A and B are shown apart, each in its own frame.
Chain A
Amino acid sequence: MNDIDLTAADALLGTDTARFRHDYLEVRGLRVEFDGFVAVRDVDLTVTQGDLRFLIGPNGAGKTTLIDAVTGLVRATGSAAFGGTELLGRTTHRIARAGVGRTFQTASVFEELTVLQNLDIAAGARRRPLSLLRRRADPPAAVDQALETIGLTALRDTPAGVLAHGQKQWLEIGMLLVQDAHLLLLDEPVAGMTQAEREETGQLLRRIGSQRVVVVVEHDMEFLRSFADSVTVMHQGQVLAEGTVNEVQNDPAVVEVYLGADAASSDATTTGSAEPVATEGDHS
C-alpha cells in the first residue's frame, strides 16, 4: 500500500489560504430535536485554525448529530457560523460551498468512478455549468497534488469501489482537500485502519489542522492521545468537558461517564482509563 505524502499535502494546503485564514467554527446554543426527543442541547463550541479538535463521547452522545446539524442534514436551532457565515437554515450544498466539508462513518466515495474522477468531481462544484458538458482534459493541479498526498497516484484509474478500506478513507480526505473545504468535519476517519495507517493519517490530519479548521469524531483513545490538540467530550447531547487531553482525562465528570461512579474513585488518574471505549463502534 502506498503512503501518505506530507510534502504534497503542504503544496496542496498552501495553494489557497487567503480566503479563510482567520476563520473559525462558532456554535452557540445548538439544539436538535427529533419528534420531541432532544438529541443535542445547548451546545457551545468554538474551534479555530491550528487547533486539531477531537469530539468524543459514548454512543448516542450526539456527536454525529452535531455534525449533521452543522452540515444541514438535520434541522437545528441556535447558531452555527463559519467565517462569519451562518450555516443553519441553509441547504446542504450551499453549506458545502461556504467551505464546509465532511466525511461519514462509512467511507462514502463514488464506487463506480475512478479515483481520479472522484477527486475531479470533488474539485468541480464551482465549475460553470457549460464547462461540465465537455470531456475532462487534464485534471486540475490540485487533483494531482491530492493524489500524491493520499498516495493513490498509481491507482488513479482504478474504480474507487475496489480500493482497500483505508484507501477509501484517504480518498475521502483527499476529496475534502480538493473541494477546498476550510472546515473539515471527519466522522471516525481511522476506523478499521491498521496501526501504520492510523499513524500516517494522524500526521496528515495534523498537517491539515495547521492550515484548516478540523473537527474529528473518534473513539480510538490512543489515536486521540497521539494527535489531538484539544478535546470536547459530549454526553447525552450536551458538552460535558473541554480542554487538553490531560485536562479532560482527569476530569471527574468525564471519568464517571466513561467508567461509572465506582471506577472513578479507583482508576481516575491512570492514562488508560478510557480505553474500553475504543472497542465500541458508534452508529448513532
Chain B
Amino acid sequence: MTVLSALARPGRTRTLAAYGLAAALLLLAPTVLSPFRLDLLAKFLCLAMVAVGIGLAWGRGGLLTLGQGVYFGLGGYLMAMHLKLADAGPGGVPDFMLLYGTGQVPGWWEPLRSPIAAILLILLVPAALAAALGWAVFTRRVRGAYFAILSQALAAAFTILLIGQQQTTGGTNGLNGFRAFFGYDLADPANRLMLYFIAAAVLLGMVAVAHQLATSRFGELLVAVRDQEDRGRFLGYDPALVKVVAYVVAAVMAAIGGALFVPIVGIISPADVGVVPSIGFLIGVAIGGRATLLGPVLGSIAVSWAQTSISEQFPSGWIYFQGALFILVVAFLPGGLASVAGVARRRRTAERSRA
C-alpha cells in the first residue's frame, strides 16, 4: 500500500527534502572520510547506480533482473579497454596483450582508442543488447521466474566468455593497472576526489531520472502492465514495449555504474560481473525497498558497507550474514527497510482503532 499511496500523492516536499539531504551528505563526505574510505564510498556509489535501475525495472516494472552484472560488466570492460589503450599511447599495445596475447591489438578493440567513441559505446552497446534481448523475451511473453533464470544464465555465459578470452579480455585476472582516466593521473588524490564527485553527481542525476520516470505517465503505465498485463494490452498498449524501455534504462544505468567503477576501483574482472555480484545487486535493492525512490540506493550502499566492514572483522562471515539478511527481509519486510515507517504507522493506527 505504501507504493500506491506514494504513487498517488508523490509528496513532493518530502521527496525534495530527502533528495537535498542525500546531496548534502555526499558533498560533506570528503571532509570526514579518509581517502581510503572515500574511495570505498565512491565504489559503493557506482554499485548503487545499478540499484537505481533495478529499482525501476523490478520495483515498478516487476522485471526480476537477475543478470544486471552483464550490463555492469559491459560498461566496465568497455571503459577498461579504453583506459588500457589510452595508457599504451597512440598505436600502442596494452601490457597484458604483450604477456599473454599475440602482441597485436584485435580489431574490435580499435574503436575504443577514441574517448568519445568509448563513451558512446559504453551507453549504446548495453542499450542495444538490452533492447534486443528484451524485445525477444517480452514479445514471447516470457516473464516471472523464467525471465529471471534467463537473465541469470546470460550473466553466467558472459563470465565464461570473458574467462575464455584470456588474450583479449585478460581472462580471470580481468583488466587492471590503469594509470590515467581521460588524461588525469589516477594516483593523484585530487583526481580521486574528482572521481568521487563525478560518481556522486551521476548517481544523484540517475535518482532524479528514476523519480521523473516513476511519477510520469510512463511510471503509471509500468505499474499497470506489471499488475494486469492483459488489461493493458486490451487498452491498446504493447506491454512488451513498455517493459523493454524500463529494461533498457536499467541496463544503461548499470553500464554507467560499471564504467565509473573501473577508474575508481582500478580493476574489473569476471568476479565483478558474474552470477554472484548480479544477485548481490538485487539483495541491496530488496533490503532497501525496491518500490521506493531512495530505498534501492540506500539499501545498496548499506549492504556494500556492511559487506566491507563485516569482511574486515570476519573474513568469510559476510556470505552467511547476507543470506540471513535476505531471508529476514523477504520473510518479514517484503517492502524492504523503506517500508518500516509505513508498517509501524499502520500498526499504530490499527491499535488506536482497536482501543
Listed in ascending order, the chain A residues whose CB lies under 8 Å from chain B are 71, 73, 91-93, 96-97, 101-102, 104, 108-114, 117-118, 120-122, 124-127, 131-136, 157, 159, 161, 175, 179
Contacts and interface: CB of A to CB of B under 8 A. Distances in A.
Interface stretch (B39-47, B83-91, B152-160, B219-227): B219-227
Given A132-B218, A133-B216, A134-B217, A113 B4 contact: yes
List the 5 shortest-distance A-B pairs measured between CB atoms, nearest first.
A125-B236, A96-B236, A132-B218, A110-B224, A97-B236
B215 interface: yes
A136 B217 contact: yes
B236 A110 contact: no
Nearest to A121: B224
Contacts of A122: 235
Contacts of B228: 108-111
Given A133-B216, A135-B217, A109 B231 contact: yes
A117 B1 CA distance: 16
B223 A124 contact: no
A159 B216 CA distance: 17
Interface of B: 1, 3-5, 7-9, 212-213, 215-218, 220-221, 223-224, 227-228, 230-239
A151 B235 CA distance: 21
Given A117-B8, A135-B215, A112 B227 contact: yes
A92 B9 CA distance: 32
A125 B230 CA distance: 14
A127 B217 contact: yes
A93 B217 contact: no
Contacts of A127: 217
Contact of B217 (A108, A109, A124, A161): A124
A14 B234 CA distance: 23
Given A108-B230, A159-B4, A132 B223 contact: no
A74 to B, nearest CB: 12
B8 A132 contact: no
Given A114-B8, A120-B217, A96 B234 contact: yes
B233 A96 contact: yes
Contacts of B239: 93
Nearest to B222: A132
A92 B234 contact: yes
Nearest to B5: A159
A135 B216 contact: yes
B233 A132 contact: no
A114 B224 CA distance: 11
B236 A93 contact: yes
Contacts of A111: 227-228
Nearest to A116: B8
Contacts of A135: 212, 215-217
Contacts of B236: 93, 96-97, 125-126, 179
A120 B220 contact: yes
Given A114-B8, A133-B213, A134-B216, A121 B234 contact: no
Nearest to A96: B236
Nearest to B1: A159
7 contacts: A71-B234, A92-B230, A110-B223, A110-B228, A112-B227, A132-B217, A136-B220
Contacts of A118: 224
Contacts of B234: 71, 92-93, 96, 101-102
A147 B213 CA distance: 26
Nearest to A159: B4
A97 B236 CA distance: 5
Contacts of B1: 159
A93 B223 contact: no
Interface centre among B8, B228, B231 (most CB of A within 10 A): B231
Contact of B237 (A93, A102, A104, A175): A93
Residue of B228, B232, B235 ringed by the most chain A CB atoms within 10 A: B235
Given A133-B212, A135-B212, 18 more contacts: A92-B234, A93-B236, A93-B238, A93-B239, A96-B235, A108-B228, A111-B228, A112-B7, A112-B223, A113-B220, A113-B223, A114-B8, A120-B220, A121-B221, A132-B217, A136-B217, A159-B8, A179-B236
Nearest to B217: A132
Contacts of B218: 132-133
